[in-house]
């Protein structure tokens, strides 16, 4: 008869817990998408998820604040707050009626975002969806990203169509879409 001795593994030191597991899972999913269908298509798939997340988060904030629509100032506050809640460190570099420029030095995905620029579509789509839903229009430009190896992120959310926003490389978002 073969008797197995049940031994607890609680004492062993491995870096495995829910947050790390989920960030690694997202990293591997986006990496597989990038490898199989290419960066542009992978970004498109992640964009769909980001848009859904943006709608859900937007609803949560508007419901909590008890408003039908956020002002530009509230949009800025919401975008910073939501990133803080998921362990990002976004801050405003510049803000005026036509654009909001954000900086960031800590990605919520931490080191799991490195070499996975498709994952940045979550930020683009969440920011763009929330801004456009409340202000009518947004174009998000990911000027610098930790995923691409930059020291931090520089994200521009254009709120109006003008020569600067038209010249920018980014994704456009419209109210109700």
3-state secondary structure string, 20-66?
Answer: HHHHHHHHHHHHHHHHHHCHHHHHHHHHHHHHHHHHHHHHHHHHHHC
149 within a domain of the structure (yes/no): yes
* 96 assigned to some structural domain: yes
Q: 97: burial class by Cβ within 10 Å (0-12, 13-18, 19+)?
A: exposed
In a domain, 8, yes or no: no
Residue 147 lies in a domain: yes
Q: Domain range for residue 152? A: 18-174
Render pLDDT for 70-115 as a digit per residue (tens, 0 to 9).
Answer: 999 999 999 999 999 999 999 999 999 999 999 999 999 999 999 9
CATH for 33:
3.30.1380.20
Is 100 domain-assigned?
A: yes
Q: What is the pLDDT of residue 88?
A: 95
**pTM for the structure as a whole:** 0.88
Please give the structure tokens belonging to residue 136. 């009518």
Q: Is residue 150 part of a domain?
A: yes
Query: Is residue 6 over pLDDT 90?
Result: no
Query: Is 138 exposed, middle or buried (CB count within 10 Å of its CB: 0-12, 13-18, 19+)?
Result: buried
Q: How far apart are CA 53 and CA 177, in angstroms?
A: 13
80: nearest Cα among 98, 70, 92: 92
In a domain, 117, yes or no: yes
The fraction of the chain above a pLDDT of 70, given in percent, is: 96
pLDDT reported for residue 3: 55
User: pLDDT digit string (tens) for 7-55?
Assistant: 788 888 888 889 999 999 999 999 999 999 999 999 999 999 999 999 9
Determine what percent of the chain is predicted with pLDDT higher than 90.
84
Count up the domains in the chain and report the number: 1
Examine residue 5 and state whether it is found in any structural domain, yes or no.
Answer: no
Describe the crossing of helices 72-85 and 39-65 by its angle, rounded to 10 degrees.
Answer: 110
């Amino acid at each position: 008869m073969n008797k197995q001795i049940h031994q607890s593994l609680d004492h062993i030191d491995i870096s495995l817990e829910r947050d790390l597991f989920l960030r690694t899972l997202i990293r591997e999913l986006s990496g597989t998408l990038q490898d199989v269908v290419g960066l542009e298509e992978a970004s498109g798939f992640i964009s769909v998820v980001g848009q859904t997340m943006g709608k859900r988060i937007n609803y949560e904030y508007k419901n909590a604040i008890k408003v039908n629509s956020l002002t530009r100032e509230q949009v800025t506050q919401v975008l910073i707050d939501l990133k803080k809640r998921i362990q990002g460190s976004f801050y405003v570099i510049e803000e005026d009626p036509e654009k909001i420029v954000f900086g960031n030095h800590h990605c919520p995905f931490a080191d799991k975002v490195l070499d996975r620029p498709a994952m940045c579509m979550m930020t683009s789509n969440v920011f763009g969806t929330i801004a456009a839903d409340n202000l009518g229009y947004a174009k998000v430009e990911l000027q610098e990203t930790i995923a691409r190896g930059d020291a931090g992120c520089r994200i521009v959310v254009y709120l109006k169509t003008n020569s600067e926003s038209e010249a920018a490389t980014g994704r456009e978002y419209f109210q109700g879409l």
